[in-house]
Chains A and B, each alone.
Chain A
């Protein structure tokens, strides 16, 4: 497995609370991505990073922000969680902008 860890692996939170998910890599890859996975939708890109402090929006970025202050860490923040953000979140990394390798996922439940 690629050296990717995600934390926490499971989280239950209440509507309106802030939540931060962490992705950590040991591969020194340039690109990092956050996806959400929902039944019937496959994987949808939330945000991605192409270098330290360089990020851009994906197709479902509303309600999410990201930060990357070090090559190895990419944080996803839900400023005020909503029930529609209940999902499984995957981080991915790639050394080029092609092959992506996924982490184990974080299951987030917003009640």
Chain B
């Protein structure tokens, strides 16, 4: 079935460094790839997304890249700050069998001050 793999499961960086989280998806018909940030005790919050007709998208300190051939997409956070500490989820919207979005298992990011 459809699957999204996310790595690493835990990532620890020093404040000011960059963080990269990578995901792969299995359904080649996937056409939309959102990233969510979840803080403790809260619901996931959409932080950036990319559609399959775009290779890269940036929003201030965060960027997402998509390689459709390899079925890979990545989240890049530059100049990390302690408030970036959270769990990050990637997801892929599949285009078959209805309106379903498959999520990765999550990456817990720690930013050390």
Q: Is the CB of B46 closer than 8 A to any CB of chain A?
A: yes
Q: Is the CB of A62 closer than 8 A to any CB of chain B?
A: no
Residues of B near A97 (CB, < 8 A) are 93, 99
Chain B interface: which of A13-21, A41-49, A66-74, A77-85? A41-49
Contact of B42 among A31, A59, A104 (CB under 8 A): A104
A residues adjacent to B (C-beta < 8 A): 31, 40-45, 48, 50, 56, 58-59, 90, 97-105
Residues of A near B103 (CB, < 8 A) are 42-44
A97 CA / B100 CA spacing, docked (Å): 8
Q: Is the CB of B45 closer than 8 A to any CB of chain A?
A: yes
Interface flags, B90-113, vs A, CB<8A=1, else 0: 010100001111111110000000
Chain B residues with a Cβ closer than 8 Å to the other chain, count? 24
Q: Does B44 contact A43, Cβ atoms closer than 8 Å?
A: yes
Residues of B near A45 (CB, < 8 A) are 100-102
Residues of A near B34 (CB, < 8 A) are 98-100
**Best-surrounded residue of B42, B43, B89 (most CB of chain A within 10 A):** B43
A41 CA / B9 CA spacing, docked (Å): 11
Residues of B near A41 (CB, < 8 A) are 105
Given contact pairs A42-B105, A43-B89, A97-B99, a sample of 15 additional A-B residue pairs in the complex whose CB atoms are under 8 Å apart: A31-B99, A41-B105, A42-B4, A43-B91, A48-B100, A56-B98, A59-B100, A59-B102, A98-B32, A99-B49, A100-B101, A102-B36, A102-B44, A104-B42, A105-B43
